[in-house]
Amino acid sequence: MSVEIGQPIPDIELLLTGNQQSRLSAYRGKPLLLYFYPKASTPGCTTEGRDFSALINKFRRQSTVILGASRDGLKAQENFKAKQQFPFELISDKEEALCNLFDVIKLKNMYGKQVRGIERSTFLIDEQGVLRQEWRKVKIKGHAEEVLEAIKAMRAAT
C-alpha cells in the first residue's frame, strides 16, 4: 500500500522527537509538509533541514506543520534536532512503516554497492489529509522555497 496524489493518507502511528507518540491524523486541519531524508547529521540532510528552518515563519503564516523523517533511531533524531535547533519535530521510522507507505526506500549505489536507502522526498498533505503534491529525488538547493510556493498556491485555491 502506498499513497497517491489526490488520495487520503492512511493513518499510521509516528514516533516523534521528545519521545512523543502521534498519528498522521493528528495533523488534519492544517497543511502538513512531510519530508524524508537519508540520514540524520549528514551534510545534505543538515542543509535541507536548515533550509526549512530558515523559512519556518513563512511556513507558519501558511499554518503549515513541518515534519522530517528518516530511519534513524530516536536518539539520533533527538541529537540532530537539538544540534541544528530545528523548530519542528523529526520522526524516527526505524520500522520503515512511514517510509514504506510513501515508497521512499530505494536501491541506491554507494561506493559501488547497492544499498537500500531513503530517496530524498517531500510530500504536501492538505488540511483534509489528502496528498496534494510530491517531490521525489529532491535536489536541495531552492527546494524549501519551491515547497513554500506550492503551499501558498494550494491554500489560495481553496
**pLDDT tens by residue, 96-139:** 999 999 999 988 777 888 888 899 999 999 999 999 999 999 99
Give the amino acid at 19: N
Structural domain of residue 126, as residue ranges? 13-157
Asked about 45 being catalytic, the answer comes back as: yes
**Considering only 2-6, 32-36, 101-105, which range has the smallest mean pLDDT?**
2-6
Q: What is the pLDDT of residues 46-72, one digit of tens each?
A: 999 999 999 999 999 999 999 999 999
Provide the number of structural domains found in the chain: 1
Residue 46 has φ and ψ, to the nearest 5°, of -65, -45
Residue 123 lies in a domain: yes
Query: Of 32, 34, 40, 45, which is the active-site residue?
Result: 45
Residue 3 lies in a domain: no
Question: Cell for 16?
Answer: 516523534
Residue 21 lies in a domain: yes
Give dist(CA 18, CA 16) in Å, integer.
Answer: 6
Residue 48 lies in a domain: yes
Q: Is the predicted pLDDT of residue 2 greater than 80, yes or no?
A: no
Residue 151 lies in a domain: yes
Please give the model's pTM, rounded to 2 decimal places: 0.94
Residue 142 lies in a domain: yes
Residue 1 lies in a domain: no
Helix-helix angle 143-157:43-54, to 10 degrees:
40
Q: 113 near 50, Cβ under 8 Å?
A: no
Q: Is the predicted pLDDT of residue 1 greater than 90, yes or no?
A: no
The CATH number of residue 127's host domain is 3.40.30.10
